[in-house]
């Protein structure tokens, strides 16, 4: 008889956590999710599966709460997807960002070492650890040189994963993930700002979209594709770190073009720019070399950039028509 695996996911109500939960449920896993008693964030993302998963209250900074959960369920796989992800917020709350994004994974790594040394650990890192990269595209060999508190916190977590893997022989992987979007992307992020505002303009609820640098380029992938790579990483014989990216770069104006065209709108009539919204780091182009993840995991993106933006537009239309969109 096949034994059901148990996975513990932090950040389960977020974009990645909710998609990963759905993927693992399809594969027959028992899914345990960490949720906060302080914040009621993202529960709509797991509404369809809430009766199929187990939610436990806790906090990445409360080691005792994590210990209680790990002792109770003895998970074979642990995915750390929780944390502070919005870069401007990391400047405003630098200490909190570092504590959550670095001490959180450290707590999990220490508990794995002490309680479940055979468990497999996934850490969601970020391409922002490369700072102003000198390599184009960036790979696993690109020097790590973060330029903001968010990047510093993620770089520290990345190094901790390597330290624990090498010193304690824990199966721990880190993914240097590039921007990945979806219908569940937070409203603070530019892709979701574009699709939701375009829909509001279409429905006569707004009359303009204000953005920063339309020429800024990013490597944007689709979140459900990325969580599949997370799972594949923990099925390897040997733990390793990977750049997780599409290898393609697109401009902010490309997002606008697709979204507005899909709604039969002329984007030039509605888009205004504001220099105050332009970030310094946008002068450097981030796009990843995914050759290693393709070769070792056999992974590649399934959803095109254009289809992803259209999916987001369709979802925002649905939300607005149902009156469920939150400003």
Residue 48 lies in a domain: yes
36 and 94, same structural domain?
Answer: yes
Q: State the sign of the Cα–Cα–Cα–Cα dihedral 135, 138, 144, 147.
A: positive
Q: Residue with structure tokens 């339309």? A: 214
137 upstream amide cis, omega within 30 of 0: yes
pLDDT in tens, 140-167: 999 999 999 999 999 999 999 999 999 9
Residue 296 lies in a domain: no
Residue 28 lies in a domain: yes
Q: Domain limits at 17?
A: 6-180+223-244
| 54 phi and psi angles, rounded to 5 deg | -115, 125
137 and 197, same structural domain?
Answer: no
171 and 24, same structural domain?
Answer: yes
CA 254, chain centre distance (Å): 21
Average pLDDT (219-240) is: 98
Burial string for 132-142 (b: 16+ CB within 10 Å, else e) reads: ebeeebbbeeb
107 and 130, same structural domain?
Answer: yes
Residue 294 lies in a domain: no
176 and 233, same structural domain?
Answer: yes
240 and 252, same structural domain?
Answer: no
| 289 phi and psi angles, rounded to 5 deg | -95, 105
As for how many domains the chain has, the answer is 2
pLDDT in tens, 286-304: 899 999 999 999 999 999 9
Residue 297 lies in a domain: no
Task: Assign residue 78 the CATH number of its domain.
Answer: 3.40.50.720
77 and 59, same structural domain?
Answer: yes
Quickly state the pLDDT bin for 279 (edges 50, 70, 90): low
112 and 39, same structural domain?
Answer: yes
């Amino acid at each position: 008889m096949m034994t059901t695996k148990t996975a513990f996911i932090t950040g389960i109500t977020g974009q990645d956590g909710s998609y990963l939960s759905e993927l693992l449920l399809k594969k027959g896993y028992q899914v345990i999710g960490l949720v906060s008693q302080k914040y009621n964030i993202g529960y709509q993302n797991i509404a369809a599966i809430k009766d199929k998963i187990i939610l436990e209250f806790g906090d990445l900074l409360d080691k005792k709460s994590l210990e209680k959960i790990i002792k109770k369920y003895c998970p074979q796989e642990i995915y750390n997807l929780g944390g502070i992800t919005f870069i401007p917020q990391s400047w405003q709350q630098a200490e909190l960002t570092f504590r959550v994004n670095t001490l959180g994974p450290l707590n999990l790594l220490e508990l794995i070492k002490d309680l479940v040394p055979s468990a497999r650990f996934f850490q969601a890192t970020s391409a922002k650890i490369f700072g102003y990269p000198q390599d184009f595209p960036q790979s696993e060999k690109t020097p790590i040189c973060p330029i903001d508190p968010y990047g510093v916190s993620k770089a520290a977590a990345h190094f901790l994963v390597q330290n624990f893997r090498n010193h304690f022989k824990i199966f721990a992987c880190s993914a240097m993930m590039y921007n990945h979007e979806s219908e569940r992307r937070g409203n603070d992020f530019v892709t979701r700002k574009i699709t939701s505002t375009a829909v509001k303009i279409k429905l006569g609820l707004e009359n303009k979209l204000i953005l920063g640098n339309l020429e800024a380029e990013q490597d944007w992938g689709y979140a459900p594709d990325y969580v599949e790579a997370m799972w594949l990483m923990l099925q390897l014989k040997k733990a390793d770190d990977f750049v997780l990216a599409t290898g393609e770069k697109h401009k902010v104006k490309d997002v606008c073009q697709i979204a507005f065209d899909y709604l039969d709108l002329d984007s030039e009539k509605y888009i205004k720019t504001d220099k105050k919204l332009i970030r310094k780091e946008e002068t450097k182009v981030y796009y990843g070399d995914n050759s290693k993840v393709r070769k070792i995991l056999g992974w590649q993106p399934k959803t095109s950039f254009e289809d992803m933006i259209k999916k987001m537009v369709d979802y925002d239309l649905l939300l607005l028509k149902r009156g469920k969109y939150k400003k």
